[in-house]
Structure 1
């Protein structure tokens, strides 16, 4: 099982991070399966970072084998969706970027990809108009809508499949909107799609 993630996919987040360039194609990176955190298990703050940031994202689950998928057929390759967190060791990432070095360890460490319960995409009226949000300790800290994606779900799937064979169960984190921030011990994170709570865990 592979975990793909898309960077720079919401204008609001790009402005938030003061990025001055535009990506002409989707920006893709990967996380190992050891990054998954499921079933409401707690996230333990690692000892190698003092600045762990949440990035709330819609996550697609691939439902059929595919390679070089045409964009017009991409909607056939996923049938479930949830909300997830792309945890980032921001201080570590910043240091690595300043040196021009790869920064996988800042994004792909153990448990850096919590995911919620999946729901069928058919229960959502419009896959291109999905509201999602993250609450921390009962207060909404981040919210977004799939209509604001720079690259749509179908474009992402088509692009990734040019380089990687997609297999059943692969996951795609589709990007984060503005509103990222840090987490602390005892925080409770709850993720929602259209008012349905799908993700609920604590920071330890």
Structure 2
């Protein structure tokens, strides 16, 4: 099963994905803090109101996420290209709900940044809240998985050795197209790739994660309560533009796609912001 947030005829809905169509759930307008797994599973499916996915505007999967915890340096190949030591504890930083955009929305290039980079990632959406969740019990707290591009303004990221100012720009982070529930996908070795203007620039699989999804949930929930709708971004593989020679950054008119096997893909045009 998969769930999508979407807008149709000026109204917001949550729909169950049915092939190329969406079946709205009665009384639910978006996935987030008020829609734990149990609420979604119990909702009435309004089959008579089914719509084609091509006829709606897809929204971010959890547009009012209370917490977006991002993980850096979680693929060995990416650590090697950054010439850092292998971490023994996950590197983490925040984003905010204002950073999120839909899976087909434009990535806006801010005029202040000159080194805007792509980072294809798996997103984990929390469905059942908890504190001090064990690694063993972590799967029970996952609503599902989505695709994300952790767009990063590198010249701002490296102004200090804290990364937030390069990572949390408004309207910068596409996520979607839907949330695939755990029973629908095997992520053991699912492929992940990023394509820029038709060229594959990142390619790996999720077996290469240093810190597993369960380990990340346990680590985060040790210091903060996870709530329904919260998002954990699990890190990006090697191939980021900043570490290439020559460096490769996003420019006005580019098109970037992130795809994860069994989860989905998102494609976004890159557009310069006008102010």
Mapped pair 1:5 → 2:65: no
Which blocks of at least 5 consecutive residues in structure 1 are unaligned? none
Q: Distance in 2 between matches of 1:39 and 1:152?
A: 25
Structure 2 CA distance for partners of 1:136 and 1:196, relative to 1, 3 Å: farther
Matches within 5 A, 1:63-102: 63-97=127-161, 102=162
Q: Distance in 1 between matches of 2:110 and 2:202?
A: 23
1 or 2 for the larger relative contact order (CA 8 Å, sep ≥6)? Answer: 1
Structure 2 CA distance for partners of 1:158 and 1:128, relative to 1, 3 Å: same
Query: Once the two structures are superposed, what CA deviation does each residue of 1:173-200 show, in whole Å capped at 9, x if it has no partner?
Result: 0011101112111111122121764211
Mapped pair 1:119 → 2:184: no
Give the counterpart of 2:266 among 193, 199, 203.
Answer: 199
Per-residue deviation at 1:158? 0.4
**Aligned residues, how many?**
198
Question: Is the 1:49–1:89 Cα contact (8 Å) retained in structure 2?
Answer: yes
Question: Is the 2:76–2:86 Cα contact (8 Å) retained in structure 1?
Answer: no
Question: Is the 1:67–1:161 Cα contact (8 Å) retained in structure 2?
Answer: yes
- For the residue of structure 2 that corresponds to 1:203, the secondary structure is strand
Deviates more, 1:138-147 or 1:7-16: 138-147
Normalising by structure 1, what TM-score? 0.91
Question: Is the 1:79–1:122 Cα contact (8 Å) retained in structure 2?
Answer: no
Partner of 1:45: 109
Normalising by structure 2, what TM-score? 0.69
